Amino acid sequence: MPRGNRGQIDKGFLWSLIVLVVFGMLMLLSASGPLGFQQFHDASYFFKHQLLNGVLPGTLLFIFFANYDYRKLIRFAPLALIGSIILLVMVYIPGLGMRFGGSGRWLHLGPLSFQPSELVKIGILIYVAAWLEKRHEHEAKTLQGGLLPFLLSMSVVVILLVFQPNTGSMAVIVGAALAQYYIAGAPFIWFAGLGVLGTTFIALLIKVTPYRTARFLTFLHPELDPQGIGYQINQAYLAIGSGGLLGLGYGHSRQKYLYLPEAAGDSIFAVMAEELGFLFCLLFLALYGFLVYRCLDIARRTVDPFGRFLAVGIGAWIGLQGAFNIASMLGLMPITGVTLPFVSYGSSAFVALAAGCGIMASISRGTQIWREL
């Protein structure tokens, strides 16, 4: 971006993001009330915690990165990869890593507790975008100079996430990185081969890990264990079906009263469908899709390769994570444990997404400047 020149943030991207964040906080206030009252005698506890630990620092990061020349991130790309691997390794260190529900996905550093996988998402996308820019178009399409180094760097992250276990975040990271690589011009036949390899890898994980086997069988036959591992998806079905076309009304969900697990987290879309109905959910999906579209349109208009790769990665990150969350609530795929971006409770996820959107805003400003030159 030429020094001294500053464009405007893409208005479609900015306003769709603002509306989504405001709506997400209102939805969180409703969905988390019963659990907050039960655990802390404060129905607004999770709302306030998300506001103070997610929205406020996330907004500051958004403003910072929106006014930061995203091109300067290239110099930090190697550190982004190394830092991501270190964070994922730290999860396995006793006293630092924390386990909840059988998963070791959290780090505890003094007063801070966070999910490193959320920070890894943005770190890997910065690294891949810088890595692709440094390689000429021909080199990125070669096996030795392109595909093999790409697979090597990604395999380290994949293995560390698999053993947490955090298959959902792994799928989001790999999917977004592959979108970046595709835009760089990698042969389509490679993606077909990677698809077969990925499917085989997932099938192997399902076969050798009992909890993944149980989740997959529940996906195929949710009626087999409605009071056990199938409880969450069956309660989600009940919530979504109860909403009908127009919903029961904001704040009137019945399933959020400790019937639906993770009502403020993974399952918040089911609460949304129960309270606001099918028609409003379509509007939400349209808004969400428009935000992703604006990200990809910014990428299309960006002449700078690093900015284009990074914008595609961030757009794919937001789109894939939302799609995985909603699809799992609708029974279209096994429950992954990933949150619904900007709506589900989770300060680590919100802060990381806000930082990513700030970078997207910076890219859109640079796009306008380059177009005017």
* pLDDT tens, residue by residue, 306-347: 999 999 999 999 999 999 999 999 988 888 788 999 999 999
187: left (phi over 0), alpha (psi -120 to 50) or beta: beta
Q: In the chain, pLDDT over 90 holds for what percent of residues?
A: 58
- Calculate the CA dihedral of residues 362, 49, 36, 284 and round it to 10 degrees: -10
Q: Nearest CA to 167 among 233, 225, 103? A: 103
Query: What was the pLDDT predicted at 6?
Result: 62
Q: Per-residue pLDDT for 139 more than 70?
A: no
> What pTM does this model have?
0.90
Q: Per-residue pLDDT for 242 more than 60?
A: yes
Q: In whole angstroms, give the CA distance from residue 348 to residue 103.
A: 16
Q: Per-residue pLDDT for 4 more than 50?
A: no
Q: Which of 154-163, 185-194, 200-209, 217-226 has the lowest mean pLDDT?
A: 217-226
Q: Per-residue pLDDT for 372 more than 70?
A: no
Query: What was the pLDDT predicted at 321?
Result: 95
Q: Which of 152-161, 278-287, 320-329 has the lowest mean pLDDT?
A: 152-161
Q: In whole angstroms, give the CA distance from residue 263 to residue 272.
A: 10
ω into residue 78 within 30 of 0, thus cis? no
Question: For residue 369, what pLDDT band results from cuts at 50, 70 and 90?
Answer: very low
Please provide the average confidence, as pLDDT, over all residues in the chain.
87
Question: For residue 136, what pLDDT band results from cuts at 50, 70 and 90?
Answer: low
